[in-house]
């Protein structure tokens, strides 16, 4: 039976949160709040705040948040029941009858924790003994150091029911070993035997760092390659992440979290200095696990293997996260080379390459787009309609209305560009194969070049803005050599004569040999695209219009850089059509 919410509300009302927290850290009052150094991560400037009126605390540095019960659980490494019992005693409250049942359940869990801790120590001792030589050799081959083995408490399970014999000899009952998931039974349930035999053993911890289960890797031929503990009263694999308790503080400090596929990947990354890494327990990420990731960082990076199963796992996670996606929280994806995993890259001296992969991870929206695009055909209107329907169905899974609209707008824009490209390509192909209908040459229209000419026209007609927009003008990534030389000359002249009007500036540029280029910029063909650059425009209009065009060009450059990066990293996995589209964005 659960403890009633009424009792918990009374408990929290009787205890001043700042009193409990103030016993552990020094708090200083700031208006309605109190602040201090966060007890859950290292910091020099206080970012931890306490609000007694609301009964909650929040750290702006690591994101830790909760009430007095949550603080007691986290700071004293207690279960919920343990924390409630301690706080009730502190407040002088009698515990409700249901608490006795909860205590019985707690005692059963404590018994399981105890036997699992004993088991972890037993497995460790076997690994260090002669019986563990095969496992030691395997770890040496994988480059796992002894310090790392100790940190992750790696062990070895012997043959012939060695664990069962040991624990029964220590006074534990067979019933307790079954409850802890350490024994298996035959079909008739008349015989019990060790669940883990001749396997390299990986303890699995809860968020407080207590051993709650095991994973075992077989060292001989056989299946399954990896075997986990069954679900128990303390182990629910869909709500946990491997090494979460070890990664929590490093992730909060680095504001980065890497999600790998398996135990060995996490261990290898940790040993290489990337201690902010975790892994699901043999399953695709669940909603609860994703929420755990978001508790540490708003954009965890998924780094699954570069093989087919790894790609499938990444796509499953991308689809699963959509219903719980929210503003400011998402997933990113690090694409590994075909056949590689984090461990294999590190072993071959590829840590720098792996870190670059993390740095260049791609957002969730791109993963959904590219995966869907590569699986689609766009040859007919029906194909394109099916592709669009598939994308919009994914978008509809997003519950957050603002975020859903943003995804829809993003995909609609990409759909328009991809469909237009496909239609143009088909039209050109048809014309090229038809001797009766010659292909008409396309006009040489470069939107980026046009927008750059608009910016020049605005400053040539309104040179008083050059000093105001000096840095943006210098930062402009100009595509034309002629325009670059014109900019250099404008900057030189303005530096010589700051209060120059448009007539004098243009006269100087004519004398420097830029007459043809000025005629190409200051004409109706440019003005019709942006009337705000005309000489008669007021200052406010030219300011606003100029900055809008400049911002648009900067965004186009970011998109092109991102597309180029994607082309380089996904070149072996993209369809020919998508490659062509990306080249068009980059080079046309």
Q: What is the pTM of this model?
A: 0.62
Residue-wise pLDDT for 292-308, tens only, equals 898 888 899 999 776 66
Kindly state the percentage of the chain with pLDDT values over 90: 36
Query: Fold for domain 244-369?
Result: Dna Topoisomerase Vi A Subunit; Chain: A, domain 2 (3.40.1360)
When mean pLDDT is compared across 23-32, 92-101, 424-433, the lowest value belongs to: 424-433
Pick the CATH number of 100-235 from 3.40.50.1220, 3.40.50.300, 3.90.980.10, 3.40.50.10490: 3.90.980.10
* pLDDT over threshold 50, residue 519: yes
* Residue 433 pLDDT level (bands cut at 50, 70, 90): very low
* pLDDT over threshold 50, residue 439: no
How far apart (Å, rounded) are the C-alpha atoms in residues 1 and 73?
A: 20
When mean pLDDT is compared across 101-105, 142-146, 286-290, the lowest value belongs to: 101-105
* pLDDT over threshold 50, residue 587: no
Burial class (CB in 10 A: 0-12, 13-18, 19+), 319: middle
First to last CA, the chain: 68
Domains 5-96 and 100-235 belong to one CATH topology? no
Cα–Cα distances in angstroms (integers) from residue 255 to residues 252, 294, 297, in the given order: 5, 11, 6
When mean pLDDT is compared across 124-128, 141-145, 170-174, 576-580, the lowest value belongs to: 576-580
* pLDDT over threshold 80, residue 120: yes
What is the model's pLDDT at position 67? 92
Domain boundaries, the chain: 5-96, 100-235, 244-369, 376-432, 447-569
* Residue 440 pLDDT level (bands cut at 50, 70, 90): very low
Q: Average pLDDT, stretch 353-369? A: 87
When mean pLDDT is compared across 86-95, 158-167, 173-182, 559-568, the lowest value belongs to: 559-568
**SS3 labels along 385-403:** HHHHHHHHHHHHCCCCHHH
When mean pLDDT is compared across 226-230, 266-270, 313-317, the lowest value belongs to: 313-317
438 or 262, which is more confident? 262
Query: Fold for domain 5-96?
Result: DNA Primase; Chain A (3.90.580)
What is the model's pLDDT at position 19? 92
* Residue 414 pLDDT level (bands cut at 50, 70, 90): confident
Judge contact between 458 and 533, C-beta under 8 A: yes
414 or 405, which is more confident? 405
Between CA 55 and CA 63, with CA 59 as vertex, the angle to 5 degrees is 110
When mean pLDDT is compared across 110-119, 246-255, 333-342, the lowest value belongs to: 333-342
429 or 107, which is more confident? 107
When mean pLDDT is compared across 190-204, 342-356, 511-525, the lowest value belongs to: 342-356
* pLDDT over threshold 80, residue 556: no
* Residue 424 pLDDT level (bands cut at 50, 70, 90): low
Describe the crossing of helices 576-587 and 364-374 by its angle, rounded to 10 degrees: 130
What is the model's pLDDT at position 316? 83
How far apart (Å, rounded) are the C-alpha atoms in residues 504 and 498?
A: 12
* Residue 521 pLDDT level (bands cut at 50, 70, 90): very high
What is the model's pLDDT at position 104? 60
Q: How many CA atoms lie within 13 A of 342 on its CB side?
A: 29
Residue 200: asked if its preceding bond is cis (omega within 30°), the reply is no
Residue of 317, 424, 422, 324 lying closest to 371 (CA atoms): 317
What is the model's pLDDT at position 263? 94
What is the model's pLDDT at position 318? 85
* Residue 287 pLDDT level (bands cut at 50, 70, 90): confident
What is the model's pLDDT at position 442? 36
Q: Are strands 192-194 and 332-333 parallel, antiparallel or unpaired?
A: unpaired
Residue-wise pLDDT for 199-241, tens only, equals 999 999 988 889 999 999 999 888 899 999 999 988 988 889 9
* pLDDT over threshold 90, residue 579: no
Q: Average pLDDT, stretch 101-120? A: 77
What is the model's pLDDT at position 293? 92
How far apart (Å, rounded) are the C-alpha atoms in residues 538 and 532?
A: 8
* pLDDT over threshold 70, residue 1: no
When mean pLDDT is compared across 61-70, 175-184, 569-578, the lowest value belongs to: 569-578
Residue-wise pLDDT for 141-195, tens only, equals 999 999 999 999 999 999 889 999 999 999 999 999 999 999 999 888 789 999 9
């Amino acid at each position: 039976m659960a403890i009633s919410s009424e009792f918990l509300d009374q408990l929290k009302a009787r205890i001043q949160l700042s009193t409990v927290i103030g016993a552990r850290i020094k708090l200083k009052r700031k208006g309605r709040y109190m602040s201090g150094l966060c007890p859950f991560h290292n910091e020099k400037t206080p970012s931890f705040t306490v609000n007694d009126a609301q009964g909650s605390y929040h750290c702006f540095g690591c994101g830790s948040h909760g009430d007095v019960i949550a603080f007691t659980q986290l700071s004293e490494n207690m279960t919920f029941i343990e924390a409630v019992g301690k706080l009730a005693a502190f407040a002088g409250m009698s515990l409700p009858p249901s608490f006795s049942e909860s205590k019985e359940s707690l005692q059963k869990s404590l018994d399981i924790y105890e036997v699992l801790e004993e088991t972890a120590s037993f497995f460790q001792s076997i690994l260090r003994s002669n019986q563990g030589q095969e496992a030691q050799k395997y770890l040496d081959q994988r480059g796992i150091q002894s310090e790392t083995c100790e940190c992750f408490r790696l062990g070895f399970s012997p043959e012939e029911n060695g664990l069962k014999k040991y624990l029964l000899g220590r006074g534990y009952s067979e019933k307790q070993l079954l409850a802890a998931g350490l024994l298996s039974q035959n079909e008739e349930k008349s015989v019990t035997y060790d669940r883990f035999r001749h396997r390299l053993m990986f303890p699995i911890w809860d968020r407080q760092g207590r051993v709650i289960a095991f994973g075992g890797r077989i060292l001989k031929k056989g299946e399954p390659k990896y075997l986990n503990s069954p679900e128990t009263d303390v182990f629910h694999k869909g709500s946990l992440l491997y090494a979460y308790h070890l990664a929590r503080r490093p992730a909060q400090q680095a504001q980065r979290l890497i999600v790998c596929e398996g135990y060995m990947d996490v261990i290898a990354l940790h040993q290489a200095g990337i201690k902010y890494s975790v892994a699901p327990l043999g399953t695709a990420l669940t909603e609860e696990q994703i929420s755990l990731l978001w508790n540490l960082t708003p954009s965890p990076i998924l780094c699954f293997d570069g093989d087919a199963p790894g790609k499938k796992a990444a796509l499953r996670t991308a689809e699963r996260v959509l219903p719980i996606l929210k503003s400011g929280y998402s997933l990113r994806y690090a694409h590994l080379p075909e056949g590689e995993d984090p461990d294999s890259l590190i072993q071959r001296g590829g840590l720098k390459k792996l870190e670059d992969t993390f740095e260049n991870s791609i957002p969730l929206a791109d993963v959904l787009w590219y995966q869907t695009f590569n699986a689609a055909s766009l040859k007919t209107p029906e194909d394109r309609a099916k592709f669009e329907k598939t994308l919009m169905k994914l978008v509809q899974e997003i519950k957050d209305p603002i975020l859903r609209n943003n995804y829809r707008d993003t995909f609609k824009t990409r759909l328009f560009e991809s469909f237009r490209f496909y239609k143009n390509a088909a039209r050109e192909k048809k014309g090229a194969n038809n001797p009766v209908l010659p292909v008409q040459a396309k006009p040489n229209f470069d939107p980026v070049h046009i927008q750059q000419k608009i910016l020049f026209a605005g400053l040539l007609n309104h040179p008083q803005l050059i000093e105001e927009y000096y840095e943006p003008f210098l930062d402009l990534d100009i595509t034309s050599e002629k325009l670059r030389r014109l900019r250099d000359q404008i900057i030189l002249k303005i530096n010589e004569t700051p209060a120059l009007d448009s007539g004098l500036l243009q006269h100087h540029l004519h004398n420097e040999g830029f007459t043809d280029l000025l005629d190409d910029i200051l004409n109706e063909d440019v003005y019709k695209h942006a009337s705000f650059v005309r000489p008669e425009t007021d200052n406010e209009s030219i300011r606003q219009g100029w900055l809008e065009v400049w911002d648009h060009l900067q965004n186009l450059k970011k998109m092109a850089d991102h597309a180029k990066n994607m082309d380089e990293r996904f070149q072996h996995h993209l369809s020919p059509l998508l490659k062509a589209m990306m080249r068009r964005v980059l080079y046309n």
